[in-house]
A = this chain, B = another copy of it.
Amino acid sequence: MPSDPMSAGNSVPEGLSTAISLLKQRFGERLVTNEDVRRQHANTLTWIEGEPPDAVVLAGSTQEVTEVVGVAARFGVPIIPFGAGTSLEGHVNAPRGGICLDLSRMDNVLRLNAEDLDCTVEAGLPRGRLNTYLRDTGLFFPVDPGTEEATIGGMASTRASGTTTVRYGTMRENVISLKAVLADGRVIETGGRARKSAAGYDLTHLLVGSEGTLGIITEVTLRLHGVPECIIAAVAGFPTLASACDTTMAAIAMGLGLARIELLDPLVIGAVNKHAGLTLDPLPTLFLEFHGTPAAAREQVATFEEIARSEGATSFSSAVDEAERKRLWKARHDALWTVREAWPGRTVLVTDVCVPVSRLAECIAETEIDIAASGLTAPIVGHVGDGNFHALALHRPGDAEELAKVLAFAERLATRAIAMEGTCTGEHGIGQGKKRLLQIERGEAVSTMASIKSALDPMGILNPGKVFDRP
């Protein structure tokens, strides 16, 4: 349990209480110790219990972040960076208490370089607002985890991805460089704006996905993409999950230029029909999108339909207008909430394994058998073009037995994916929830990660208890 300055006074270590006082002097009302605010900042959205910080600082600039880190370092107090709090693996929890560094006020677009297809933004900018900002430029930022609220800094920290990754990549491919504050208060810039560089170690990619444990990302330079001249959406229904997966594998193997290819199983289709007022057949279904010139996009659609039909697709519709297309993708993005709503009183553990696409059908098939054998309800949706899928394992909050069953399922699923040369997490990260799985997946390499952590944050003040436990 975190120390809690709001409860019995003597539970607060002296260093922490001094640190908070100093920050209060410096930040005034932007240093908050109100219990509601602290609890909001530890809302994990998942089975992982909230562990609120002792205080929340609303930082407004890189300079202010260095000041907070400086005070924290002086007193050995943990710092937990916070964007929108939409992560799923307990990333914003404060298991050792400490200061939550809320970056949501750092939400400016600092610079747009339209000619170079890049922009520099502050870490706290939500991805949805970035795209609103870009609306009239002919450019967009493609990476789209479930919520529009996810901040660019948080997305960089967790190496986020989404439905367009099959074409545009994850945060790994779309962060050009970044500015970060390290544990010793140093501010580093990991690169410039050149499209490539061979200048020394790739600190950009080291920080992307490091979950706030190596440095606090304050600015990000992002790669942007031209809004395609033509966008065609399509929906394909299949008799089995296997035939939907086989279609995906064939399309990927031939290098077909898909912009989105998302699988929804019949349970999800049922929930989505109800929630979004759609009338899709309750079948394993692929939601698709093709980007390009009109000729190229139409060519891709035709090739895809041919593959799908040959794999047994029972329906294929690409006559989707823009309003309908937006409704489909909103329904897909809302799938997690839709499923929660369809099973009231249940909560969801969201797995996110990713396997080589050639193993996808096999991995999903074995997972379906596992779900049935375990007596679980776990609808499946997936970014199948990347070999990445989610089982939304339902369970009753507070029911320890059900939770244990769901966690055991998640571990079997991760182990299965790892055995297929995949990963326990395609996009959600390790956080608190997958530390054991990371160990299974990467073995010796985890101790290398820990060596790097110790070198850059010897006191362990940056987001402690995430990714791995200190050696």
Contacts and interface: CB of A to CB of B under 8 A. Distances in A.
Interface of A: 113-118, 158-161, 165, 170, 172-173, 182, 186-206, 208-210, 214, 225-226, 249, 252-255, 292-293, 295-296, 299, 352, 354-358, 386-388, 417-418, 421-430, 434, 437-438, 441-449, 451-452, 454-456, 467-468
A423 B192 contact: yes
Contacts of A442: 188-191, 199-200
* 8 A-B pairs with the lowest CB-CB distances in the bound complex, closest first: A455-B455, A205-B205, A226-B255, A197-B423, A115-B358, A192-B421, A188-B445, A194-B354
* Copies of this chain per assembly: 2
A241 to B, nearest CB: 18
Contact of A357 (B195, B426, B444): B195
A311 B425 CA distance: 48
A421 B194 contact: yes
A367 B267 CA distance: 63
A192 B418 CA distance: 8
A116 B449 contact: no
B198 A448 contact: no
- A173, A358, A467: most-surrounded residue (chain B CB, <10 A): A358
A324 to B, nearest CB: 26
Contact of A159 (B202, B226, B445, B456): B202
12 contacts: A115-B249, A172-B196, A195-B354, A195-B386, A198-B425, A199-B424, A199-B429, A199-B434, A203-B445, A203-B449, A295-B296, A452-B455
B357 A115 contact: yes
Contact of A193 (B421, B430, B434): B421
Contacts of A427: 196, 198
Contacts of A456: 448, 451-452
A253 B425 contact: no
Nearest to A455: B455
Given A293-B299, A356-B116, A196 B386 contact: yes
Contacts of A205: 172, 202, 204-206
A357 B226 CA distance: 16
Contacts of A429: 198-199
Contacts of A454: 455
